[in-house]
Amino acid sequence: MRPSKRVASIPPYFFADLAGRLSEVAARGVDLIRMDMGAPDLPPAPHIIHALTQAAARPDAHSYTPFGGTPAFREAVASFYRSRFEVDLDPRREVLGLIGSKEGIFHLIESFVDPGDVALVAEPSYPVYASAARIAGGDVEGLPLRRENGFLPDLAAVDRDRLAKAKVLCLNYPNNPTGATADVAFFRRAVEFARAHDLLLIHDAAYTEVAFDGFRPPSLLEVDGAKEVAVEFHTLSKTYNMAGWRLGMAVGNRQAIEALYVLKSQIDTSHFLAAQEAGVAALTGDQAWTQERNRVYRERRDIVLEGVRAIGMTADTPRAAMYVWAALPKAETSSTEFCNRMLEATGVSTTPGVAFGQEGEGYVRFSLATPTARVREAMERLVRWRG
């Protein structure tokens, strides 16, 4: 029994691997506090769950649904983009429903990258961009995200030979793992860069609705002409605490959406109707409750910032996303080793920065998707350990 070379060459997915290691630690009786994954701990709003249960109770709700999402779901996505970002989308040709945005990002990259092509990927980053490009036989060129540049890539510094072979550019703001944000001026430069070098610009906007202190992150599609070169991904996982429901969307460039549709129609058969109806309720219903939810994340953010700074880590205050990106205390050099020691000494599980690529070395990512009392307890344990 031999898997394909393609599959055999894939390194283990960090979080799948971590789950195994954590169950061994828990089996030793350690009281684990998980601050590693960005999986929202709070439930969706009651009107979303109500829409799900209402739809699920209907006898006609259990068949296959249209490829690419129901017309109602695609309309709801367009309506969300109009009211939130003042971006107009054609629901039939510029919107596609996804089984979570991870799936869509992976398949869009498969739809565009051929063996030998280069994928420009900001690094550190959510792992799917680089792994999708490699599985397609492409070559990944990491664009370093450094603190001195506000964790934005220096597009002018991309190697010219690699650029000539590049097919896609992957960006993500608000950013996982750094918590950095980008403004429309940066997005404009990225769109111009993609146009000048004939790239598909893939923007992962998973965290635009998780933001603090009145900040409203923009969509890349707010840039005039962005749809000529870009596809943006969004997910109901983070916006509405619906991570297990696996509902997301791709929006933007028609040719790219069409290519993604062609590939996906060979792979999946859309999504459960009730989940999509709940998605409609989420996207078109009351948005105010997300502000309440963000206040909970903000309180946790501030507890984490105080805790990590008390043990000699440095971290900027993020304005969005659900992570604190903290530099290792002086004299520490390996994020993996530091996180392992923290886990053994305190039971607090975090993600070493290197899990997001070599450029992430020297940092630790703390997720804010853990109940507030446990976040407080985690920080107390860290201070007892190293404070």
Catalog residues that contact ligand PLP under the rule CB under 6 A: 38, 100-102, 126, 172, 176, 204, 206, 235, 237, 243, 248
Other beta carbons within 10 angstroms of residue 157's beta carbon come to: 9
Q: Taken in order 285, 217, 152, 370, is the CA torsion positive or negative?
A: negative
Nearer to ligand PLP, 163 or 247 (CB): 247
Nearer to ligand PLP, 133 or 163 (CB): 133
Tell me how far, at minimum, the Cβ of 332 lies from ligand PLP, in Å: 25
Nearer to ligand PLP, 206 or 308 (CB): 206
Tell me how far, at minimum, the Cβ of 108 lies from ligand PLP, in Å: 12
Tell me how far, at minimum, the Cβ of 264 lies from ligand PLP, in Å: 14
Nearer to ligand PLP, 172 or 270 (CB): 172
Nearer to ligand PLP, 163 or 242 (CB): 242
Tell me how far, at minimum, the Cβ of 46 lies from ligand PLP, in Å: 21
Nearer to ligand PLP, 249 or 382 (CB): 249
Tokens 């690094």 sit on residue: 123
Tell me how far, at minimum, the Cβ of 222 lies from ligand PLP, in Å: 19
How do 118-123 and 314-315 pair as beta strands?
Answer: unpaired
Nearer to ligand PLP, 119 or 243 (CB): 243
Phi, psi of 167 (to 5 degrees): -115, -35
Tell me how far, at minimum, the Cβ of 334 lies from ligand PLP, in Å: 23
CA count, 13 A, side-chain hemisphere, 27: 6
Nearer to ligand PLP, 205 or 328 (CB): 205
- Pull the structure tokens for residue 361: 């070395």
C-alpha–C-alpha distance, residues 171 and 123, integer Å: 9
Tell me how far, at minimum, the Cβ of 204 lies from ligand PLP, in Å: 5
Tell me how far, at minimum, the Cβ of 45 lies from ligand PLP, in Å: 18
